[in-house]
Chains A and B, each alone.
Chain A
Amino acid sequence: DAGVTQSPTHLIKTRGQHVTLRCSPISGHKSVSWYQQVLGQGPQFIFQYYEKEERGRGNFPDRFSARQFPNYSSELNVNALLLGDSALYLCASSLDGAGDTQYFGPGTRLTVL
């Protein structure tokens, strides 16, 4: 069975631009969570979606948004990129998200110049 997949693998943008990151969960998983990980730190929670509804939101500005589609895949959008948005963006899937084990995808490495 395929694990969590994310695209693209790497991305380079300039300040002020917009970016869309994509994630497909493990087959049968209905919940997707997004995390941001900067070098030397643990992942920081951005969003969790379950059955296309936002279940939780971390302490990130409104420039960050996300959505989940009927096939449970998800997109993370970041507007007006800042240098500080450079990080590894991780998507994790779980059966229903409420305390279930989360399985991470390979991540998207975003560099903002």
Chain B
Amino acid sequence: GQNIDQPTEMTATEGAIVQINCTYQTSGFNGLFWYQQHAGEAPTFLSYNVLDGLEEKGRFSSFLSRSKGYSYLLLKELQMKDSASYLCAGAGSQGNLIFGKGTKLSVKP
């Protein structure tokens, strides 16, 4: 199967660090994507991991372990504007993206 699991909701404090985990069970993913989606808007690309390890982009980092079927998105120095849903998606064999249900992150002052 190609199930992608991530927590439904998380809450964190402004200025803090938060880690959003994503696990998957598949033999066909060609990489793992993270997207940010604010309410009522389209998903915005954050990161793409095709090899194991950590990719860093400013305040956001993403990690992938293919052997463990595990990824995480790390957000540092949280800001109020980071309140959004974060979607983990595997790259399928048809070129499609297979999304999890998303993690709704609330950043509190």
Contacts and interface: CB of A to CB of B under 8 A. Distances in A.
Given A99-B31, A104-B44, A106-B41, A40 B101 contact: yes
Contact of B87 (A42, A94, A106): A42
Interface residues of B, number: 25
B50 A43 contact: no
Contacts of A31: 95
Interface size class of A (residues with CB under 8 A): 20 to 34
A104 B94 contact: no
Given A56-B94, A102-B33, A104-B42, 17 more contacts: A33-B95, A41-B102, A42-B87, A43-B43, A43-B99, A45-B97, A45-B98, A55-B94, A57-B94, A58-B96, A92-B97, A94-B95, A98-B95, A99-B50, A99-B95, A100-B95, A101-B48
- 10 cross-chain pairs, A with B, having the tightest CB-CB distances, nearest first: A56-B94, A42-B99, A97-B95, A45-B96, A104-B42, A99-B30, A98-B95, A99-B91, A104-B43, A48-B95
